[in-house]
């Protein structure tokens, strides 16, 4: 009988100790979870990219290739759809640009391209300066390119120097992913053209300042509507060229981004489409085109 009473008393002590340990354990877990939540809230979380492709349409976006990624960009801009069946709505007059993009370092990409229009060779660099996150509201990148017009003929221009073939562009790209579906970009830009045809531009204007705008509206999981535009502050009113406006869409298909677009600029390189947009939306002189993007 005595043994039985002692046994029950020990069991009660044991249960009491277990209950106390459980309370202490739960309190420790709550404190640990609070600490983890505080750490998680303090950490910087980066937003998803504002744009899926490196270009909105013609205008550069803030997207930069990841370190070690190789991109192949193939761009076509056909002739004016206003030509109708005579050129099969411009399909007979294609301008093609093939570009390779590679990133050796995180946040920096280099590229080289060749465009059939004016036999233009180009090199470019894009550098990430800031990334949208919980602690910073914007994506910011710098883009610079140098172009060589290989179509100029020295026989027709005896005084032609190599520097006359050069044109340049520099841009600050500032974007924000405003919501899950909508992103917006501003692109203050500078273009330098060493050689200009006065019959086309009316007055020499080698240095030009522009403000670019662009946006992307996601309409489904794999489709978005895109638009970009650039206003040239220095264009002569008698110039034959216009401000470039591009409207298109992104189609995501696995490792590809396929971009369909309509634009009033047939060139795809920055000095070309920013300064020499030969089409006119109001007169129906627009060019159908596409960009095909493949990452390796």
In a domain, 3, yes or no: no
In a domain, 44, yes or no: no
* Burial class, 56, CB count within 10 angstroms (exposed 0-12 / middle 13-18 / buried 19+): buried
Q: What's the domain count of the chain? A: 1
The per-residue pLDDT for 39 is 46
Tens-digit pLDDT profile for residues 111-141: 999 999 999 999 999 999 999 998 999 999 9
Structural domain for 208, as ranges: 70-295
CB 261 within 8 A of CB 291: yes
Place of tokens 């294609």: 94
CB proximity list for 158: less than 8 A, separation 6 or greater: none
In a domain, 59, yes or no: no
Tally helices (H) and strands (E) across the chain: 3, 12
In a domain, 86, yes or no: yes
The per-residue pLDDT for 2 is 37
DSSP assignment letter at 134: S
CB 223 within 8 A of CB 217: no
The per-residue pLDDT for 94 is 84
pTM: 0.81
The per-residue pLDDT for 153 is 87
The per-residue pLDDT for 7 is 47
In a domain, 255, yes or no: yes
CATH of the domain at 235: 2.40.160.40
In a domain, 98, yes or no: yes
The per-residue pLDDT for 77 is 93
> Which residue positions in the chain have pLDDT lower than 50?
1-7, 19-21, 23-26, 28, 39
In a domain, 28, yes or no: no
In a domain, 127, yes or no: yes
């Amino acid at each position: 009988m005595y043994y039985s009473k002692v046994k029950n008393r020990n069991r009660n002590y044991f249960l009491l100790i277990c209950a106390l340990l459980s309370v202490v354990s739960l309190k420790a877990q709550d404190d640990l979870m609070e600490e983890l939540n505080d750490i998680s809230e303090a950490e910087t979380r980066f937003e998803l990219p504002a744009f899926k492709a490196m270009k909105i349409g013609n205008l550069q976006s803030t997207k930069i290739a990841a370190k070690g990624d190789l991109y192949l960009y193939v761009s076509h801009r056909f002739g004016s759809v206003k030509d109708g069946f005579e050129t099969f709505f411009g399909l007979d007059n294609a301008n093609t640009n093939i570009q390779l993009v590679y990133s050796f370092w995180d946040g920096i990409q280099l590229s080289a391209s060749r465009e059939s229009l004016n036999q233009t060779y180009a090199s470019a660099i894009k550098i990430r300066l800031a990334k949208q996150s919980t602690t910073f509201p914007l994506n910011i990148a710098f883009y610079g390119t140098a172009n060589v017009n290989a179509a100029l003929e020295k026989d027709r221009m005896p005084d032609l120097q190599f520097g006359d073939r050069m044109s340049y562009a520099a841009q600050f790209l500032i974007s924000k992913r405003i919501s899950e579906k909508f992103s917006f970009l501003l692109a203050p830009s500078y273009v330098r053209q060493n050689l200009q045809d006065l019959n086309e531009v009316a007055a020499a204007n080698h240095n030009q300042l522009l403000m670019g705008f662009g946006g992307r509206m996601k309409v489904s999981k794999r489709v978005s509507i895109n638009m970009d535009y650039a206003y040239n502050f220095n264009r002569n009113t008698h110039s034959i060229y216009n401000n470039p406006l591009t409207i298109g869409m992104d189609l995501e298909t696995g490792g590809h981004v396929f971009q369909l677009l309509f634009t009033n600029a047939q060139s795809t390189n920055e000095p070309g489409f920013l300064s020499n947009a030969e089409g006119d939306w109001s007169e129906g002189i627009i060019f159908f085109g596409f960009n095909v993007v493949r990452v390796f």
